Amino acid sequence: MELRRELLTAEMIDPGTGETVRTTIDVRTDPLTGHSSRILPERGLMPAIDFDLAALARQTEPGCPFCPDRIERLTPRLTAAITPEGRFIRGEAVLFANLHAYSSHSSVSVYSPRLHYLPLDGMTSEILADNLATQVAFAKAVMAAEPRSRWASINANHMLPSGSSLFHPHMQGIVDSQPTTLQRMLAELPPQRFSDYLDAERRSSERYLGDTGRVEWLASFAPIAPAELRAFAAGVCSPAELDGDLIAELAHGLALALGGYAQMGFQSFNLAVYGAPPGTEGYPLNLRLACRSNPRPLYRSDSTFLERLHWEGAVDLAPEAVAQQVGERFRA
Q: How far is CA 91 from the centre of its chain?
A: 22
| 297 touches 55 (CB < 8 A) | no
Size of interface with Zn ion, in residues (CB under 5 A): 5
Q: What is the pattern of x (binds Zn ion, CB under 5 A) and - over residues 115-134?
A: -x------------------
- Closer to Zn ion by Cβ: residue 91 or 210: 91
Judged by DSSP in three states, 291 sits in: strand
Residue 302: what residue type? D
What one-letter code names the amino acid at 134? T
CB of 190 to Zn ion, least distance (A): 44
Tell me the Cα Rg of the chain: 20
Is 67 near Zn ion (CB under 5 A)?
A: yes
Which of residues 64 and 233 has its CB atom nearest to Zn ion in the complex? 64
List the one residue from 66, 151, 197, 261 that touches Zn ion (CB under 5 A).
66
Q: Nearer to Zn ion by C-beta: 75 or 107?
A: 75
Which residue's Cβ lies closest to Zn ion? 64
Does position 158 interact with Zn ion (CB under 5 A)? The reply is no
d(CA 258, CA 311): 25
Among 168, 230, 288, 292, binds Zn ion (CB under 5 A): 168
Is residue 170 at the binding interface for Zn ion, with CB under 5 A as the rule?
no
Per CB under 5 A, which region of 144-152, 163-171, 196-204, 233-241 contacts Zn ion? 163-171
Mention every residue, 6+ apart, whose C-beta is less than 8 A from residue 242.
132, 136, 236, 250, 285
**Exposed (0-12), middle (13-18) or buried (19+): which is 27, by Cβ within 10 Å?**
middle
| Distance in angstroms (rounded) separating the CA atoms of residues 135 and 56 | 27
Site residues (vs Zn ion, CB under 5 A): 64, 66-67, 116, 168
